């Protein structure tokens, strides 16, 4: 059994560096931590490169025996409590960390592949808050979508804080980072496929009277904008529909992840009851 006792060990230094986005990108790796996330990563058959276990942490005893049997199938590295505390990202660690390969379920073109068969595609235009991004990924997963487009200026989805807040959704939602989100959206919008509807772009805006409940969420790209500035002007100009979330109080805007949740669950409502809330004629025209 390999056991690391020094914080200066080269592999420990490698794990510490994975807290930096640039280093994660270079190595195509990221960190997950905790019993639940490691268990989900195994269940989802994500590529796990190593599992690091604290050899003398009290909470390690809480790892179920059946999970330990599964963990034993991977390359395991044991470390002392002192070493583990130098690499953990949480206040009350459970004594287990895994190093995963980013976007490892597909081939080398994984990040450039967009699934056009889904009803809607969510695109994030420079979302900055890791908590918002993690919640949005979790919400996207909850409605059965399997991908999300993110602008280059959006927070890194493999940031440890984002990963924790997704509660495992990051294993099921493909993160497609767009070098130029405007150009990507333009190409999707103009894409011609025989006997298929074209995708339309929907953005939120205060400069409209059209409600989110007046749009049919079929072959739509829902763009969620930056927390402070909203959707960029060039993407707003590209949009086919501008909508707003009706509010009865004095607040003019909502948190980005809350707004995403409201719109995605209108999609769920329509999928469950296609003509509820608007006439069949209006539904077909939207």
Sorted by sequence, the CB contacts under 8 Å of residue 240 that are 6+ apart come out as 189, 200, 201, 202
- pTM of this structure: 0.87
pLDDT in tens, 175-190: 999 999 999 999 999 8
How far is CA 69 from its chain centroid?
Answer: 29
pLDDT in tens, 31-72: 999 999 999 999 999 999 999 999 887 777 788 889 999 999
Sorted by sequence, the CB contacts under 8 Å of residue 14 that are 6+ apart come out as 27
pLDDT band (50, 70, 90) for residue 207: confident
Give the span between the Cα atoms of 35 and 151, in whole angstroms. Answer: 31
pLDDT band (50, 70, 90) for residue 280: very low
pLDDT band (50, 70, 90) for residue 279: very low
Tokens representing 38 are: 């490691």
In this structure, the strands spanning 96-101 and 29-33 are antiparallel
Nearest one of 144, 179, 173 to 158, comparing CA atoms: 173
């Amino acid at each position: 059994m390999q056991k690391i006792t020094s914080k200066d060990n080269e592999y420990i230094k490698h794990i510490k560096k994975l807290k930096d986005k640039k280093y994660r990108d270079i190595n195509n790796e990221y960190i997950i931590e905790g019993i639940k996330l490691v268990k989900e990563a195994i269940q989802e058959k994500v590529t796990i490169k190593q599992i690091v276990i604290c050899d003398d942490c009290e909470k390690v005893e809480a790892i179920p025996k059946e999970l330990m049997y599964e963990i034993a199938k991977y390359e395991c590295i044991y470390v002392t409590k002192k070493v583990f505390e130098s690499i953990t990202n949480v206040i009350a660690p459970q004594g287990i960390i895994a190093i995963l390969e980013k976007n490892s379920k597909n081939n080398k073109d994984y990040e450039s592949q967009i699934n056009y068969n889904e009803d809607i595609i969510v695109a994030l235009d420079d979302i900055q808050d890791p908590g918002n991004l993690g919640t949005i990924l979790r919400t996207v997963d909850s409605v059965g979508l399997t991908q999300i487009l993110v602008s280059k200026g959006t927070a890194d989805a493999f940031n440890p804080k984002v990963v924790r807040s997704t509660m495992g959704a990051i294993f099921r939602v493909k993160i497609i980072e767009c070098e130029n989100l405007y150009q990507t959206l333009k190409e999707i919008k103009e894409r011609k496929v025989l006997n298929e509807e074209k995708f339309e772009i929907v953005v939120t805006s205060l400069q409209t009277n059209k409600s989110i409940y007046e749009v049919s969420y079929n072959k739509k790209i829902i763009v969620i904008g930056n927390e402070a500035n909203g959707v960029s002007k060039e993407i707003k100009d590209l949009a086919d529909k501008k909508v707003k979330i009706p509010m009865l109080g004095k607040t003019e805007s909502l948190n980005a992840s809350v707004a995403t949740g409201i719109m995605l669950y209108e999609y769920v409502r329509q999928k469950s009851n296609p003509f509820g809330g608007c006439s069949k004629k209006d539904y077909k025209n939207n």
